């Protein structure tokens, strides 16, 4: 991955190109233009790009993602209070331009004004903008109101963005803006453009041995998308720094139009790979995470494929989740969401709709978000310093071992004749003081804390361990990495929230005082035996589940993830529960009782061959920082005379 990031960071390093001037007038087809002297300038447009394979047959690639077919300049007058109002509009002309390049040039007409102007640049929407401008006089319309009219919509029951081929596609509208005072000395400007769409790629992790032979990717379905989107984002959603621009929240049309879906993608042609990857086919408008974390309202994927030696496609849900594993992500413009499938443990659901309505299971994925110029990277044009996360949130409990959520990945390509690699330059608290006694950072070479280092020039996994937080308030640490003159700071926050745990006990529990408490021993398995008579059920077995934090909601789901059979043939076990197994426990008491019944509906001949049947009931919770999933296994043995 770091090799690709290095290439990406090279692509997004831009130089300001030479300028030239000529004299042409403002587009007079627009009503409400203001008068004034005009000047032609050279505009350098930067398009954040992600490097893809260069051979395309059908799906579009980097050139088509970056293509600029039309350019419109919409100028707004900025008053002394900081408010902006529509002023005038011109059409740019591409000159000395390499189509699809990460930096492209245009000549545009601007007007000389004695006040600051906000110049908004829109690409690939010329016809739409022309129609809007001709519909009425927009003179002195507030900027946000005007830009909210710039809306692109798809139609039909299969409302996908057109990416049929490199010669048959719809160019991606892009937006960028700068605020400046135009004078006779203004001869060139530079602007960074952001695409209005998000991109989703799905692939098998090619570094995982045997994954391609165990699973063949056959389809991707996209659920809960919008069929319309804003070309220009809300000003409140834009985040600008000295060297970059990005968005922090989706910008929705005045009337969002939802399409439950699914939109089905089965094109594996280059840059995709048959049975392995769908690339440069899925583009979608921004969409918000559901306010109540309802999975049926969240934008998600259902991945279809053949597991092991199966000949029938089965389906797996894949969610876009925050680091807590529970909260759904917003889908943001100009982001690329790479769904990297790292493992497939078993076949999925038989029906894609069933997979959509179920909890994600039996497929492990990593969702990597890249936003062109918004990476967790420090970069100076030659060297980079990369971390996989710039903030860690931990609960109050001590952590002294690797639990996955406390691993930090660091990499750099910094290497000179005298120095190479990265080093921890300092670790400070929230007041900038050091040392920090409660946190220990351990590098793979066993160096720790300030002075810990690596010269590997490869991805290094650092372990973050910490003591229990008994201070009664959150505590903070800043880990400052250095590679040459590059610096990057990772923040660590240890809260006072209770850690997560799930425990199963045999039996129904008992009442102690006014509280229900566990009554039996700790278990991880419920055991049944087949009856001697066909289609007779045993009495349901109870068990008690407890969890912390007590006030957390617990998601319950059926899963077919099981261990290897003890002997004989393993089948899925049909079982029922009271209460129903697919639910959310919202009692917020930290304890609950389940009753499990097993359905014996097999013939005696089946039972002779089915020596072992097993399924499981899964429980998932989060404290907002950490998450935990734990299963109680349900096993059914045959009668002794069938063994």
> pLDDT class for 301, splitting at 50, 70, 90?
very high
Distance CA 212, CA 306 (A): 10
pLDDT at 103: 76
Q: Check residue 126 and give left, alpha or beta (phi > 0: left; psi -120 to 50: alpha).
A: alpha
Window from 274-283, 501-510, 533-542 with minimum mean pLDDT? 533-542
Output the CA torsion sign for 409, 415, 420, 425.
negative
Window from 82-86, 599-603, 627-631 with minimum mean pLDDT? 599-603
| Coil vs helix vs strand at 29 | coil
Closest by CA position to 389, among listed 408, 412, 413, 411: 408
pLDDT above 50 for 643: no
Output the CA torsion sign for 107, 113, 116, 122.
negative
pLDDT at 443: 96
**Residue 157 DSSP symbol:** T
Q: Which residues is 547 bridged to in the sheet?
A: 502
- Residue 588 has, within 13 A of its CA and on its CB side, a CA count of 3
pLDDT above 50 for 18: no
pLDDT at 231: 96
Does 528 or 348 have the greater pLDDT score? 348
Distant-in-sequence, close-in-space partners of 383: CB < 8 Å, separation ≥ 6: 412, 413, 414, 483, 484, 486
pLDDT at 586: 84
Does 496 or 536 have the greater pLDDT score? 496
pLDDT at 535: 39
Confirm if 618 and 576 have CB atoms less than 8 A apart: no
pLDDT at 24: 38
Class at the top of the CATH hierarchy for domain 198-370: mainly beta
Class at the top of the CATH hierarchy for domain 501-642: mainly beta
Q: For 507-522, what is each residue's pLDDT tens digit?
A: 988 888 888 889 899 9
Q: Which residues is 523 bridged to in the sheet?
A: 504
pLDDT above 60 for 534: no
Domain spans, the chain: 2-195, 198-370, 378-494, 501-642
| Coil vs helix vs strand at 65 | helix
Distant-in-sequence, close-in-space partners of 240: CB < 8 Å, separation ≥ 6: none
pLDDT at 420: 93
**Residue 155 DSSP symbol:** -
Apex CA 158: angle with CA 155 and CA 162, to 5°?
A: 75
pLDDT above 70 for 477: yes
Distance set, CA 279 to CA 72, 207, 240, 492 (Å): 30, 18, 29, 35
pLDDT at 539: 65
Mean residue pLDDT across the chain: 81
State how beta strands 300-307 and 314-319 pair.
antiparallel
Distance CA 14, CA 541 (A): 67
pLDDT above 80 for 429: yes
Mean pLDDT of 587-593: 89
Locate all alpha helices (DSSP H) within 337-411, ordered by sequence.
352-356
Distance CA 326, CA 311 (A): 33
- Residue 190 has, within 13 A of its CA and on its CB side, a CA count of 13
CATH (one of 3.40.50.2300, 2.60.40.10, 3.40.50.2000, 1.10.240.10) for 378-494: 2.60.40.10
Q: For 193-213, what is each residue's pLDDT tens digit?
A: 999 999 999 999 887 888 999
SS3 content of the chain, % helix, strand, coil (to 5): 10, 45, 50
* 501-642 shares the fold of 198-370: yes
Mean pLDDT of 554-579: 60
pLDDT at 330: 93
| Coil vs helix vs strand at 290 | coil
Q: Check residue 124 and give left, alpha or beta (phi > 0: left; psi -120 to 50: alpha).
A: left
Distance CA 135, CA 76 (A): 18
| C-alpha distance across the termini of the chain, in Å | 51
Distance CA 152, CA 162 (A): 13
Mean pLDDT of 255-277: 89
Q: How many CB atoms lie within 10 A of CB 345?
A: 16
Mean pLDDT of 480-502: 86
pLDDT at 158: 73
Distance of CA 134 to the CA centre of its chain: 39
Distance set, CA 403 to CA 152, 231, 410, 563, 616 (Å): 45, 42, 18, 21, 23
Closest by CA position to 126, among listed 162, 77, 96, 92: 92
**Residue 399 DSSP symbol:** B
pLDDT at 371: 55
Q: For 395-427, what is each residue's pLDDT tens digit?
A: 888 999 988 789 999 988 889 989 999 999 999
> pLDDT class for 559, splitting at 50, 70, 90?
low
pLDDT above 50 for 627: yes
Q: What phi, psi does 400 have (nearest 5°)?
A: -120, 5
Mean pLDDT of 153-163: 82
Q: For 116-130, what is each residue's pLDDT tens digit?
A: 899 999 999 999 999
Locate all alpha helices (DSSP H) within 315-426, ordered by sequence.
352-356
Q: For 380-397, what is each residue's pLDDT tens digit?
A: 446 778 787 778 888 888
Does 485 or 416 have the greater pLDDT score? 416
Report the range out of 60-64, 254-258, 401-405, 528-532 with the highest average pLDDT: 254-258
Window from 139-148, 202-211, 367-376, 587-596 with minimum mean pLDDT? 367-376
pLDDT at 21: 31
Does 109 or 269 have the greater pLDDT score? 109
pLDDT at 209: 83
Q: How many CB atoms lie within 10 A of CB 122?
A: 26
Mean pLDDT of 242-270: 85
């Amino acid at each position: 991955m770091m090799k690709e990031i290095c290439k990406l960071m090279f692509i997004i390093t831009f130089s300001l190109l030479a300028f030239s001037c000529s004299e042409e007038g403002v587009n007079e087809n627009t009503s409400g233009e203001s008068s004034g002297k005009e000047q032609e300038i050279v505009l350098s447009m930067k398009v954040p790009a992600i490097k893809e394979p260069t051979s395309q047959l059908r799906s579009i690639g980097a050139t088509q993602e970056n293509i600029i077919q039309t350019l419109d300049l919409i100028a707004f007058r900025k008053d002394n209070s900081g408010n902006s109002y529509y002023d005038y509009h011109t059409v740019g002309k591409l000159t000395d331009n390499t189509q699809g390049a990460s930096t492209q040039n245009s000549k545009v007409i601007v007007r000389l004004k004695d006040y600051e102007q906000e110049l908004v640049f829109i690409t690939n929407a010329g016809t739409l903008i022309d129609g809007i401008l001709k519909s009425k006089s927009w003179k002195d319309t507030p900027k946000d109101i005007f830009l909210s009219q710039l809306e692109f919509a798809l139609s039909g029951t299969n409302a996908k963005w057109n990416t049929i081929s490199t010669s048959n596609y719809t160019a991606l509208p892009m937006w960028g803006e700068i605020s400046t005072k135009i004078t006779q000395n203004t001869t060139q400007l530079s602007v960074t453009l952001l695409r209005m769409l998000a991109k989703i790629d799905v692939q098998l992790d090619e570094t995982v041995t045997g994954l391609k032979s165990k699973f063949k990717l056959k389809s991707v379905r996209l659920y809960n998308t919008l069929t319309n989107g804003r070309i220009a984002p809300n000003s409140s959603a834009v985040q600008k720094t000295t060297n970059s621009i990005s968005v922090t929240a989706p910008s929705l049309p005045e009337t969002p139009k939802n399409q439950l879906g699914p939109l089905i993608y089965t094109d594996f042609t280059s840059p995709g790979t048959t049975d392995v990857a769908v690339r440069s086919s899925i583009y979608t408008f921004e969409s918000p995470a559901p306010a109540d974390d309802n999975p049926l309202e969240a934008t998600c994927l259902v991945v279809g494929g053949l597991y092991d030696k199966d000949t029938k496609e089965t389906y797996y849900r894949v969610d876009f989740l925050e680091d807590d594993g529970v909260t759904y992500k917003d889908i943001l413009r100009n982001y690329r969401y790479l769904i990297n499938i790292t493992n497939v443990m078993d076949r999925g659901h038989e029906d894609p709709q069933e997979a959509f309505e179920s909890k994600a299971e039996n497929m492990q994925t990593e969702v990597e978000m890249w936003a062109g110029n918004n990476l967790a990277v420090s970069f100076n044009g030659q060297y980079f310093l990369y971390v996989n996360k710039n903030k860690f949130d931990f609960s109050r409990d001590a952590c002294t071992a690797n639990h996955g959520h406390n691993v930090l990945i660091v990499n750099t390509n910094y290497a000179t004749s005298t120095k190479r690699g990265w080093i921890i330059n300092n670790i400070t608290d929230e007041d900038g003081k050091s040392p920090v006694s409660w946190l220990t950072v351990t590098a793979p070479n066993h160096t720790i804390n300030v002075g810990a280092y690596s010269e590997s020039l490869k991805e290094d996994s650092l372990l973050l361990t910490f003591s229990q937080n008994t201070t009664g308030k959150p505590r903070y640490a800043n880990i400052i990495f250095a590679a040459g003159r590059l610096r990057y700071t990772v923040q660590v926050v240890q809260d006072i929230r209770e850690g997560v745990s799930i425990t199963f006990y045999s039996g129904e529990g008992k009442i102690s005082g006014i509280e229900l408490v566990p009554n039996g021993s700790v278990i991880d398995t419920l055991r049944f035996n087949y009856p001697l008579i066909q289609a007779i059920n045993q009495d349901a077995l109870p068990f008690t589940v407890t969890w912390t934090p007590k006030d957390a909601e617990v998601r319950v789901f059926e899963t077919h993830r099981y261990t290897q059979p003890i002997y004989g043939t393993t089948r899925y076990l049909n079982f029922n529960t009271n209460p129903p197994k697919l639910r959310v426990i919202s009692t917020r008491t930290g304890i609950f009782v389940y009753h499990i019944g097993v359905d014996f509906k097999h013939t005696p001949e089946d039972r002779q061959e089915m020596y072992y049947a097993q399924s499981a009931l899964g429980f998932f919770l989060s404290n907002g920082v950490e998450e935990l999933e734990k299963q109680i296994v349900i096993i059914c043995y045959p009668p002794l005379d069938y063994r």
